[in-house]
Chains A and B, each alone.
Chain A
Amino acid sequence: MAALINVPSKAKRGEIIEIRTLTSHIMETGFRHTADGKLVPRNIITSFACRYNGTEIFRADLFPAIAANPYLSFFTVAKESGKFEFEWIGDNGYSSTASASITVE
C-alpha cells in the first residue's frame, strides 16, 4: 500500500527531528449508509507504530474520527544512524509497512 514518509536523511546527534507519515486508506467509519439504507461496514486503521532501530518511539490508536488517508506527524531525538520502521494495522486483517533511513553525524 502506498505510504509517504518524510524523514530527514541527515541529522546532527541529539537533534529533535520531525517525522511525517501519510498512508492511503479509506477509513470507512462504519456509521455511513448507502443510498438504499444499508450500513457500510467499518474499515479503518486501528493502530500505528514507529520503531527506530527496533525501539518503539511512537504509537497511536486510531478511531473512525481520523480522516481518510491518515496523516501523522511526530518527533524523535536523532541518536544514531539507522532505520525507521512504520507499521499500520487495521480492520479486516489490514497491515502495511514502510521504512526510512537516517544518517546521524
Chain B
Amino acid sequence: MPTTRRQFLSLAGGVTVAGTIPIVTLRPLEATPAMLNTAIRNIVGEAQIHTGRVKLDIPPLVENGNTVPMTVSVASPMTADDHVKSIHVFNEKNPQPNIGNFYFGPASGRAQVSTRIRLADTQKVVAIARLSDDTFWQIAAEIVVTLAACTEEMN
C-alpha cells in the first residue's frame, strides 16, 4: 500500500512527540557514544567505575589537534600493596576510541605519564586508572579543538 503524504506526516509527527520526552529525560548526564562505552567496558569489564583520584592535565582549548600535550596522574603511595596498575585513556570522537594504555608497578614511584595526543574534533577525553585492589577510577575533560587531526587529506 503506498503511503500518502497525510499518513507520513501524522506518523512522523507522532514519532517526534513520543520521541522528544524520553530522549530528554532518559539521557544520562554525560552521554558517551557507544564506541567509547564499548572500549571502556573492554578494559573495565563489569566493574564499577568511581569518579575521582585521577588527574588529567590537558589544555581546555587547543588550536591544533595534531599534537595536544596531556598528563595523567593518580594520587597513590605506589607501594607493593597499594599502587596503580594501569592508566587507560579514551576519546569520544576520533575514528578509534583508544588513545593509550600505560602500565605501572610499585617500581614506578609515581603514577604519572605524559604524552602528546591527536584529537579529531571538539570532544571529551576520559582517563581511567586501575588500582592494585582492582578498583577503577575515572576523570573526564572537555577539549575544544579548532583544527582537527587524523582524517585530513595528505598532500
A residues in contact (CB < 8 Å) with B: 16-17, 29, 31-35, 40, 52, 55-68, 70-77, 79
| CB <8 Å contact, B108 and A65 | no
| CB <8 Å contact, B110 and A75 | yes
Q: A17 CA to B151 CA in the complex, in Å? A: 37
Asked if A35 meets B155 with Cβ closer than 8 Å, knowing A63-B98, A65-B94, A66-B115, the reply is yes
Who on chain A is nearest to B73 by CB?
A75
**Closest-CB distance, B85 to chain A (whole angstroms):** 11
Interface residues of B in 104-131 (CB under 8 A from A): 104-105, 107-110, 112-119
Choice from B103, B152, B154, B155 contacting A59 with Cβ under 8 Å: B103
How many Cβ-Cβ contacts under 8 Å join chain A to chain B? 111
B residues in contact (CB < 8 Å) with A: 66-68, 71, 91, 94-96, 98-105, 107-110, 112-119, 149-155
Q: A76 CA to B107 CA in the complex, in Å? A: 6
A67: chain B residues at CB < 8 Å are: 66-68, 115-118, 149
A16: chain B residues at CB < 8 Å are: 109-110
B155: chain A residues at CB < 8 Å are: 35
B91: chain A residues at CB < 8 Å are: 65
**Closest-CB distance, B92 to chain A (whole angstroms):** 11
| CB <8 Å contact, A60 and B114 | no
| CB <8 Å contact, A40 and B154 | yes
A17: chain B residues at CB < 8 Å are: 109
A64: chain B residues at CB < 8 Å are: 94-96, 118, 150
Choice from A31, A61, A73 contacting B100 with Cβ under 8 Å: A61
| CB <8 Å contact, A71 and B114 | yes
Choice from B68, B98, B108 contacting A74 with Cβ under 8 Å: B108
Q: A79 CA to B116 CA in the complex, in Å? A: 29
**Closest-CB distance, A59 to chain B (whole angstroms):** 4
Who on chain B is nearest to A14 by CB?
B109
Who on chain B is nearest to A70 by CB?
B115
Choice from A34, A61, A73, A77 contacting B107 with Cβ under 8 Å: A77
Choice from B96, B113, B114 contacting A65 with Cβ under 8 Å: B96
B99: chain A residues at CB < 8 Å are: 63, 65-66
Who on chain B is nearest to A17 by CB?
B109
**Closest-CB distance, A1 to chain B (whole angstroms):** 18
Q: A62 CA to B110 CA in the complex, in Å? A: 20
